[in-house]
Amino acid sequence: MVNIASEILAVYLANFDVMQQLKEREQMSKANDEVDLIVLIDLIRKFFNKIGRGIAFTFKAAKNNIGLLLIFILLGSGIGYGLSLITKAYYTSSMTLMLANIRNEFIEDQLNKLSLMVAEENYEAVAERLDIDTEAARQIKKMSFSNLDQDRIEKDSVLTGSPFRIELSLYDRSLFETMEPALTSYLENNRYFARQKRIKQRQVESMVSKLKGEISSIDSMKTNVGEPRGPVNGFVYGQPIDPTNLYRESITMYKEQVKLEADLEKLDNVEIVTGFVPRLRPTGPKVLNHIAIGALVSLLIGCIVAVNRESNKQATV
């Protein structure tokens, strides 16, 4: 019994020592975490204090070298103004197009490819796609586009048959008149669009031809009823012919024929809603923007020079 009691006591003491060690380690870990947090907070405080001293020193240096900064600003403004004079002027205008019942993603893909070629200055490919000469393609500065109904549909919906806008920047303003049909033709002559257009055109033309034949047949029947050569009453499938129904059916078919012929005129997949507006004054470059950017850049350079000068003065003192 004594041996068993001693063993139990030994196990208890051993477990007690382990628990004490774990408790001490936990306390040390908490203490280390607190120390690490204090060190981190101290580093952040020193960092912001250093930034504050740097800003204050920069303002002091700028104040002590205000004449130098003014010289830099005037010089930068002059450079910006000079760059605006030698930068080639460009003109920006936009056109709005309406799609047929096709997904806008197809148009986006075509225009993305064309925009990429313009951005890469691949003017030969641009000229080939738009069926214009290379020199005219070189006058394209930038092209962008946007769907006008993009914000009106749900995120999971597909935008179909929606109007979209093409914005074009050209160095030669006279080319807007040329670019309008060129862009429309480029979109219209997509192989998929052209195939769908041919299929629909054949269907509509077949229906128009069929209606014309039916109308001609009814007109012949109306003539026979109006000017009978045999018995007065005519019969169709054992039923007497009513001239009023013939006239009514003829008018209905003619209306359908006119509607289909109108549809033939609207088979284009892309139609112009509003074309490019001729521009008299250039969109850019903007002189004030160039001057402001030049002044800002030169101010930053002047501040760097002023800070170095102030630092050298303090070092010599």
CATH of the domain at 186: 3.30.70
Same domain, 186 and 124: yes
Do 180 and 207 share a domain, yes or no? no
Q: Which of 28-37, 225-234, 291-300 has the lowest mean pLDDT?
A: 225-234
pLDDT > 70: percent of the chain: 75
Q: Is residue 142 part of a domain?
A: yes
For residue 27, being part of any structural domain is answered with no
| 164 in the same domain as 184 | yes
Closest CA to 135 of 124, 147, 150, 119: 124
More confident of the two residues 33 and 110:
110
Same domain? 255 vs 199: yes
Beta bridge partner(s), residue 143: 168
* Alpha-carbon span 64 to 56, nearest angstrom: 12
As a whole number of angstroms, the distance between CA 30 and CA 24 comes to: 10
Are 111 and 153 found together in one domain?
Answer: yes
Q: Respond yes or no on whether the N-terminal peptide bond of residue 228 is cis (omega within 30° of 0).
A: no
- Is residue 102 domain-resident? yes
Query: Can you give the pTM of this predicted structure?
Result: 0.61
Distance between CA 87 and CA 82 in Å, rounded?
9
Q: What's the first-to-final CA gap in the chain, in angstroms? A: 88
Query: Is the separation of the CB atoms in 196 and 181 below 8 Å?
Result: no
Q: Are the beta carbons of 96 and 274 closer than 8 angstroms?
A: yes
Above 70 in pLDDT, residue 132?
Answer: yes
Q: Are residues 246 and 183 in the same domain?
A: no
Q: 295 pLDDT exceeds 80?
A: yes
* Statement to judge: residues 186 and 135 lie in one domain: yes
More confident residue, 41 or 123: 123
Over 80: is that where the pLDDT of 34 sits? no
> Is residue 110 in some structural domain?
yes
The total number of structural domains that make up the chain? 3
Does 175 fall in a domain?
Answer: yes
Q: Which of 54, 70, 65, 67 is nearest to 313 (CA)?
A: 65
The percent of residues in the chain predicted with pLDDT above 90, rounded, is 24
Q: What is the pLDDT of residues 187-208, one digit of tens each?
A: 888 777 777 777 777 887 888 8
Q: Give the domain extent around 256.
A: 195-224+241-268
Distance CA 291, CA 222 (A): 83
Domain membership of residue 217 (yes or no) is yes
Are the beta carbons of 284 and 89 closer than 8 angstroms?
yes
Residue 170 backbone dihedrals phi, psi, to 5 degrees: -125, 150
Instruction: Tell me if 82 is assigned to some domain.
Output: yes
Residue 179 has pLDDT above 80, yes or no: yes
Classify residue 284 as left (phi > 0), alpha (psi -120 to 50) or beta. beta
pLDDT at 58 > cutoff 90: no
- pLDDT at residue 281 greater than cutoff 60: yes
Residues 6+ apart with CB under 8 A from 234: 221, 224, 225, 228, 240, 241
pLDDT of residue 3: 55
Same domain, residue pair 127 and 186: yes
- For residues 248 and 182, state if they share a domain: no
The answer to whether position 57 is within a domain reads no
Residues 199 and 214 placed together within one structural domain of the fold? yes
Torsion of CA 145, 149, 154, 160, to 10 degrees: -80
Residues 206 and 173 in one domain: no
pLDDT higher than threshold 50 for residue 238: no
